[in-house]
Structure 1
């Protein structure tokens, strides 16, 4: 096979799709609506024909809603063909497999295709977690094999990862990037590494949330609510895992952890393994982290109201001046003395620390001390944290102080980094390490995370907004207090914090 690949930059390339489940149908939909001629194939009897009928129904619905012109729909359906056998794909420019996520099955399929298709046709795998290099190994032309990873539902998730294996030619990667863009998606390039970009970057959110639960810091509902209210996530980690299903999310956690030779940053927790064993998969089984009614609606239990009392004298630590200024700007009346008066409520503002560490470092009375997350503080939701010696009466005074305008109060047990600080720092650190390893360009990491995971913003931009030095301090403090190498900072983060550079800055 020559280094050149048959050009697919034509108005109507011939696309073969093998596997007519939800993912395969979604890829077929965006391809045929973008002008491609699509051939559907599936090992299941009648599956390709059923997929064609489903797409016809989908197009009719879009036409009825005014989202698709009728002539556009009819033209697209005229370019959609059902194949009786794999040999019908012989003339395709690109063949995309969307079959079961099993290495042996994909290797067998591609070996068969090599005997049927042109030597210059591109073979693309929609794999979400398998090595492209491993899929291509043993083929006559491994250089024409690449990953072409879409996300469900394909028409709505406007992101596709293009992954070259070790032997994949640059021309193949370039053509798939161009094809993904032509189909209306943001196409990002990734190295052939476990999880690629999106599933790799997504390891921080769920695994750190589970770690917080394992430490007994707070409840499931409180964890999710804090990350929604103060950090802006659409769903908390437990809500997300319930929606996805632990039969999907837990194996991915274990797989990426093992593929990275037990990298501590990706360490799963035993809780989800136990839930999976018990069949508590989430919404699909009616119970996961939450219970669901017969209509699939989450059952919400009434919360206990925080006991509140008049705050009395309040002293605010200036150990973190910028965080103290945030609270002062909100109009809280506090003592201006260097040390607190005898009966004052003491408020500390940790960065990656726990309340206990603040008490010890600042020589405070532990009974009177309560921490607040001033970095991720919302006018409608304040997150407080006690230490083991905090007097309940002083906690009630803190709740009275910060809940005076009807704001929600969440109270955590002592925790390094509270909730939002440690989850966001962990997400940002993993994204930095993806950049450090050259898995993807910094801007593509952020694009992939926003479009593929639905985060409020990209982790590297988020890190810049918080300040690389701030994120670094959070991680250093958590690592110091926990002794867990899970929190060791990426060199990408350390160097940019030291030089005052953006986390998006790549060497020339």
Structure 2
């Protein structure tokens, strides 16, 4: 299994070329297959340019660059792939195309040839269903750009041999990658657990809670994510991101928590694909709009008396400043019979707030003044339950626990995948542990009551962990 000499890569697009570069850089002869010879030429030219850049920066010797290029062999006859020990398919993301291709490969190649797909969400079990020796079929999902990104998802279908998965994990490590193992399920680890990061942002935009730049700033600067969700979809490509969401949604039998966004669909229909087309959520040919931070409040609003009543609740004169637990500011104001300002998670210097419509303006200004005195930049959004950061974190952690409970992957591999695959500042399960399972459970239950939707249903493992957390504390 581990004696992998020749590697074949099917498809010479961005991912195929990147994977071919990785394999050739680690000493393998690489058969680069495409039905169009000019596509292979473009791919190899792109690899040559990247290697030349590395040589110019002193990251690679000229001799090593030439050796890597010499290992890349263009192939337009699929029969030639019979010489490969490992085949990595990085072609069309359509099941019927993959099934036909793998059936042809199984007929051409000897039984010991490992057949893998770089698919990001299509069932490995389905790909392998109709071929001889399905135990040698697996997913080998790289992340873009493949030469740079460390993560590789090694995906086992129903028939995949454990020895095949072991061999692929060892190969990925030999290539300087970090493999994570998972079962074939819609979206695997990363594209499943990451869905709420995008979907909660689209929902906020649909409900006109805040402008795109505020939503992105909240998640980026208040949540610690490297990019905001809307700007990230522009970078990925709205068509690509929307297609993955639709694929996961349909594969889960229209599970509501994966519901695609009509706003995103409109962008795709309009051809506004993001950075690659010049326009998406943002106009990439102009300046990105700036966040409308609250002006510095006059000192006459400085609070007279500040008292921390409990964890997450501060009294500022007659105003309650409450860290969100999934209820609107107005519902809290009615319950407490006093002005309420709800604030989102504040890990950094940003404070996103929502205020009760019944608040006197002076009461809201006192809360803003207090937050500014704590060194926060404040931005106000509509009265939205769970605000932006807390509800997103709760949904991501809930999805990660659901994947864990259903045996998709181990806790360690789920956290590793999300840190390395999409650069989250923390793994979602470790993050949930730190944030508090009971807190996340309460927030989701409040959101479920508010919307009356299954979308915010807490998974049973979240309830179990919240219960254990409560018993430890008591």
Range into which the TM-score falls when normalised by the shorter chain: over 0.9
1:420/1:304 CA distance change after superposition, 3 Å: closer
CA distance in 2, matches of 1:214, 1:199: 22
Number of residues of Structure 1 aligned to a counterpart in Structure 2: 470
SS in 1 for 2:218: helix
Which aligned pairs between 1:183-194 and structure 2 lie closer than 5 A? 183-194=175-186
After TM superposition, give the deviation of residue 378 of structure 1 in Å: 4.6
- Give secondary structure in 2 for the equivalent of 1:432: helix
Q: CA deviation at 1:489?
A: 1.1
- Which structure 2 residues correspond to residues 253-268 of structure 1 after superposition, within 5 A? 253-268=245-260
The reply to whether residue 210 of structure 1 matches residue 196 of structure 2 is: no
Distance 1:172-1:406 versus aligned 2 partners, 3 A rule:
closer
Match of 1:489 among 438, 455, 458: 458
Paired residue for 2:321, among 327, 337, 347? Answer: 347
* One of 291, 301, 309 as aligned partner of 1:311: 301
RMSD across aligned positions (CA): 2.3
Contact kept in structure 1, 2:200 and 2:392, CA below 8 Å: yes
Contact 1:197–1:439 at 8 Å: present in 2 too? yes
- 1:372 paired with 2:361, answer no
In structure 2, the residue matched to 1:402 is: 371
1:271 aligns with 2:263: yes
Q: Which residue number in structure 2 is paired with residue 357 of structure 1?
A: 331
**Which of 207, 217, 228 is equivalent to 1:225?**
217
TM-score (normalised: structure 1): 0.87
Q: Are 2:96 and 1:104 equivalent residues in the alignment? A: yes
The residue matched to 2:448 in structure 1 has which SS? Answer: helix
Distance (whole Å) between structure 2 residues aligned to residue 315 and residue 476 of structure 1: 33
Distance 2:303 2:376 in 1: 20
- What is the aligned counterpart of 1:457 among 423, 426, 450? 426
Judging changes above 3 Å, is the alpha-carbon distance between structure 1 residues 460 and 501 closer, same or farther for their aligned structure 2 residues?
farther
Q: Which residue of 1 aligns with 2:311?
A: 322
> Which ranges in structure 1 are unaligned for 5 or more consecutive residues?
1-6, 328-332, 336-343, 503-508
> Are 2:35 and 2:76, in contact at CA under 8 Å, matched by a contact in 1?
no
Q: Distance in 1 between matches of 2:51 and 2:119?
A: 26
- Give, in whole Å, the separation in 2 of the partners of 1:308 and 1:487: 36
Q: Is 1:299 paired with 2:288?
A: yes
Judging changes above 3 Å, is the alpha-carbon distance between structure 1 residues 372 and 250 closer, same or farther for their aligned structure 2 residues?
same
1:446 aligns with 415
Bigger drift between 91-100 and 385-394 goes to 385-394
Residue 244 of structure 1 and its aligned partner are, at CA, apart by: 1.4
Equivalent-residue separation in structure 2 for 1:497 and 1:436 (angstroms) = 15
Greater Cα offset, 387-396 or 451-460: 387-396
In structure 2, distance between residues paired with 1:390 and 1:260: 43
Shift of 1:84: 4.0
- Structure 1 residue 434 displacement after superposition: 0.7
Offset at residue 465 of structure 1 (A): 1.2
Question: Which residue number corresponds to residue 115 of structure 1?
Answer: 107
Match of 2:443 in 1: 474
Trace 1:64-143 onto structure 2 (pairs within 5 A): 64-143=56-135
- Separation in structure 2 between the aligned mates of residue 216 and residue 377 of structure 1, nearest angstrom: 22
Distance 1:283 1:470 in 2: 37
Report how far residue 482 of structure 1 moved. 2.4
| Conservation of the 8 A alpha-carbon contact between 1:315 and 1:345 | no
- Is residue 382 of structure 1 aligned with residue 351 of structure 2? yes
Alignment check: 8 A CA contact 2:294 2:379 kept: no
Distance 1:455 1:261 in 2: 28
Secondary structure class of the residue paired with 1:161: strand
1:425 to 386, 390, 394: 394
Contact 1:352 1:473 in 2 (8 A): yes
Query: CA 1:405/1:462 → structure 2, altered by over 3 Å: closer, same or farther?
Result: closer
Change (3 A) 1:313 1:500: closer
Aligned partners of 1:233 and 1:476: how far apart in 2?
Answer: 25
* 1:24 has 2:16 as partner: yes
**Residues of 2 paired with 1:254 and 1:261: CA distance?**
11
Shift of 1:59: 2.0
Give SS of 1:360's match: helix
Secondary structure of 1:26 counterpart: helix
